[in-house]
Chains A and B, each alone.
Chain A
Amino acid sequence: MNRLSGVGELPSTCDLAIVGAGPAGLAAAAAAAERGLEVLLLDENPAPGGQIYRGLADSPAARRELLGKDYQRGDALLSGVQASRISWLPGASVWMASSDLEIGVSKDAVSHIFSARHILLATGALERPFPIPGWTLPGVMTAGAAQGLLKSSGLVPEGRFVLAGTGPLLWLLAYQLIAAKAPPLAILDTTLPTMRAGVMAALPSFLGSPYLLKGLRLMRKVRSEMRVIGGVSELRAVGEGRLRGVAYRTRSGQAETIDVDGLFLHQGVAPNINMANAAGCDMRWDEVQLCWKPVTDDWGRSSVPGISVAGDGAGISGAEAAACLGRLCGLDAATRLGRITETEREKLAAPTRDLLSRYARGRRFLDLMFQPPATFRRADAETIVCRCEEVTGGQIAQTVADMGAIGPNQLKSYLRCGMGPCQGRLCGLTVTEMIAVARGVPPAEVGHYRLRFPIKPVTLAEIASLPHDEGDVRAVVRE
């Protein structure tokens, strides 16, 4: 890869611009570059790999070992792009990817706009909001944050801390922290009983999943090394200005408190759709994964011509499937730009499609098994939902009931909900579901925030410094 040092080195145009250098972005870049496309890879992080392979290229041997084989599997993706003529701009914040295929990107306080013939959004996932009382206290973080610190800096939590919530990542993190000799005091498990309708029906397909044995082995190891408290409800982070403890109710109804200075929350991941949403890509509500995802076809094409979406940003499917989807998008871009025929595309894609169906097997079981309980997907009256603007569950419920707000966009007007710097990333799903419940309609009918560029904060000075022509000046200057 050709590493660019600043936006000044960006071309004015390219064949394929990829936003995100995780598994989907890397696999797409390799596939497209191999077919002769000029590929530009833009990523916010200092090194490629996304969250899943964060820090992999520079990871010391001992850390690679404790993070496990699935982490090391990213080596193949990283080496797949090493030799190719991909231009890569790390530390770059993409703030626009428009429907007329223009990209706005900022690095080191300088912005640049260029046009692409095709755009792939590989923006990955973010952790589902977990709006419990006290979740804004310093000391409360996500499980992904703890794992990211371990991957990129070899930092592990110290002192008294617990993990809480549900989902595969919580167990994986516990396992890795055991290996790092920094185990949590306990896992407060909020997973609903496995033996419930729907979940067991999806089990047979999971029996053929590559994740089955791995998952069982991992959970057994974790259970043998630490306290796992099941059936947890009424989870609360407690403290004044700083986390001091975690309170919860056990399965039998007993109220308990543990003194902690660290609490790592997790209840699954959801697609990071801000860029696709602002680009105008059609979205649909996924009833099983309980999140929005862009509508895409078999090749990852969105409803906006020239914009594709791959990886977890298109729907949660895991790192291996993300790489498969990325490769399909890379091949498809080569077809769309006339480098290979549709027949060649089909032929090249066949082995990838086989692999993809292997990793898709049993996904539904995982999604249902670890579906976060409804009580943790909504906030009670006093609990903050929108962390940036400090809007509570009670304010949202009241605004829907008394003011007749029908969707998230009205809440912006009434409450500034979702209008802070995170632009709804940490409240959007909660808000949609809470409005749906209050109105008695499905989330699909409520919709998501209408997002607009710039989707990352850019200073006015940066925008003003962009090259402009006479028409631009006439549009804003009064004669």
Chain B
Amino acid sequence: MFRRLPDARSGLVSLTIDGAACVGRRGDSVAALLLETGHAACRKSAVSGEPRGPYCMMGVCFECLVEIDGVANRQACLVQIAEGMKVTTGTGRREVTP
């Protein structure tokens, strides 16, 4: 749903999204890379379970929450991609297990 202009010149960064290898540009936010790689939705609403995706891209809406390197509910639009990073999408309401 987004494509890169040919002007990009920053270096490449390798990481995984849901286990799949993926390459982004240094300086990109996790949310930018999600959108470039077609992840319009990145989590489930904690109330209804409906899919949600990045909305404001400036840290105010909290729609782009994903798991990054094992830490849940990170704002993907405020975290820059890094080499070897593991991004997990699709998480929703936390289950309480006895």
Task: Check if A152 sits within 8 Å of B27, measured CB to CB.
Answer: yes
For the complex, would chain A's binding face be called helix, strand, loop or mixed by DSSP majority? loop
CB distance from A5 to the nearest CB of B (A): 14
Interface size class of A (residues with CB under 8 A): 35 or more
User: What residues of A have a CB within 8 angstroms of the CB of B29 in the complex?
Assistant: 152-153
Q: Other CB < 8 Å A-B pairs besides A44-B59, A158-B3, A387-B63, 18 of them? A: A91-B78, A136-B50, A138-B41, A141-B54, A141-B57, A142-B56, A145-B55, A149-B2, A149-B35, A152-B28, A153-B4, A153-B8, A241-B50, A242-B51, A261-B40, A389-B47, A420-B62, A425-B61
CB distance from B67 to the nearest CB of A (A): 14
Complex Cα gap A182–B1 (Å): 12
Q: For B73, give its contact among A55, A272, A457 (CB under 8 Å).
A: A457
Task: Check if B1 sits within 8 Å of A262, measured CB to CB.
Answer: yes
Task: Check if B60 sits within 8 Å of A159, measured CB to CB.
Answer: no
Q: A126-B60, A241-B51 are in contact. Are A154 and B73 (CB under 8 A)?
A: no
CB of A139 within 8 A of chain B?
yes
Q: Which of A139, A145, A262 has the most CB of B within 10 A?
A: A145
User: What residues of B have a CB within 8 angstroms of the CB of A241 in the complex?
Assistant: 41, 50-51
Task: Check if A421 sits within 8 Å of B62, measured CB to CB.
Answer: yes
CB of A148 within 8 A of chain B?
yes
Q: For B10, give its contact among A58, A180, A390 (CB under 8 Å).
A: A58
> Among residues 32 to 86 in chain B, which have CB atoms less than 8 Å away from a CB atom of chain A?
32, 35-36, 40-41, 45-48, 50-63, 65, 71, 73, 78, 80
Task: Check if A148 sits within 8 Å of B40, measured CB to CB.
Answer: no
The count of chain B contact residues (Cβ–Cβ below 8 Å) is 41
Q: For A144, give its contact among B8, B57, B63 (CB under 8 Å).
A: B57
Q: A158-B1, A426-B61 are in contact. Are A153 and B55 (CB under 8 A)?
A: no
Task: Check if A138 sits within 8 Å of B40, measured CB to CB.
Answer: yes
User: What residues of B have a CB within 8 angstroms of the CB of A242 in the complex?
Assistant: 40-41, 51
CB-based nearest B residue for A126: B60
CB of B5 within 8 A of chain A?
yes
Q: A390-B47, A422-B61 are in contact. Are A145 and B5 (CB under 8 A)?
A: no
Task: Check if B40 sits within 8 Å of A139, measured CB to CB.
Answer: yes
CB distance from A191 to the nearest CB of B (A): 22
| Per-position 1/0 for B11-30, Cβ under 8 A of A | 00000000000000101110
